[in-house]
Amino acid sequence: MNFSNITWLDDKGHIKPPLYLYFMLVFIARAWCIFIASLTQSSDRAALVAMFYPQKSDFIMALVAGFGALLIYGVVIAERKRKPHWVRPVFAQLKWILFLLLVIDAALLFERTITSHYLYSWSTGLDGLLLFWSLIYLFKSKRLTYYFADWNQDEDEQANKSSLVEKPFNK
């Protein structure tokens, strides 16, 4: 018997978000991480951003694409609390939303490659490798598939029924 899946569950019996999902969200939102890190430098804030994104338009497009990862992180937090219930249909579609964000990131990577006249750089190669691994993980990970299917409609209906049950008055 294989009991390794027990570590996937929290104390309420729900599947915990995989650590690699968080890594993937940080990878997609890396422009936001660079932006926040640049705010900590008092001398030259633009130098850190220019080191990773030489073109200002590339940085702005990466911020726009990374905003989706921040929203997905908010949905993951809502799933952990199982509230609000209107987020559940969005949570069920997270796999395809992540795929869309990775495709946008790939398009931005391709555009950066074109503007650099197809010259190889380590940052472009590393971005391409992490993008490739993220796509493979998104479609081949059983744990991620089970996680996206964990918050189902039956739980919402049971929660609504239990909140509608009248409680006797205490005298």
Structure confidence by residue, pLDDT tens digits, 109-137: 898 888 888 888 888 889 899 999 999 99
Kindly state the tokens that stand for 84: 């609000």
Q: Which pLDDT band holds residue 3 (cuts at 50, 70, 90)?
A: low
From the list 92, 91, 99, 100, the residue with the least C-alpha distance to 72 is 91
Q: Tell me the whole-structure pTM to 2 decimals.
A: 0.78
* Total H helices, total E strands in the chain: 9, 0
Mean pLDDT across the chain:
82
pLDDT at 169 over 60: no
